Amino acid sequence: MSNYYIKTKNIFGVNVIFTEKQREEKMLKHPELRQESFADRIKKTIENPDFIYQDLSDKRRSVYYSREYAIDSKIVYTKIILKNGNKECFVITAYRPDYVKERSKTKLLYGKDNE
């Protein structure tokens, strides 16, 4: 059985799993995954995102965003990419970008992205 880093439900009541193994693989590219406090931000974003986009490369994936803070008028987000399954979703990765890559390029699935 896999060791869960996070196990929660998304805003739609579907189980979401982020395994410790997946987190460790993604830590090399996204060092914020090493911070214990980032787990709370990931969970909050899954449970109550500000908005959700369809992924650019795979329509079976969703991209959850929460606005975090602004630096020099640039908003920093928590971004979670989820692979949607039949009964549960799996976190592909999570990190903190300062832009929304999907904006105006794919379908807004939930919420309001008012830049």
Residue 72: predicted pLDDT = 86
Residue 64 lies in a domain: yes
Residue 115 lies in a domain: no
Residue 115: predicted pLDDT = 66
Residue 22 lies in a domain: yes
Residue 46 lies in a domain: yes
3-state secondary structure the chain: CCCEEEEEECCCCCEEEEEHHHHHHHHCCCHHHHCHHHHHHHHHHHHCCCEEEECCCCCCEEEEEEEEEEECCEEEEEEEEEEECCCEEEEEEEECCCCCCCCCCCCEEEECCCC
Residue 85: predicted pLDDT = 85
Question: pLDDT truncated to tens, each residue of the chain (115 aa)?
Answer: 459 999 999 999 999 999 999 999 999 999 999 998 999 999 999 999 999 999 999 999 999 999 998 888 889 999 999 999 888 999 999 999 999 999 999 999 999 997 6
Q: Which structural domain, as residue segments, surrounds residue 105? A: 4-110
Residue 58 lies in a domain: yes
User: How many independent structural domains does the chain possess?
Assistant: 1
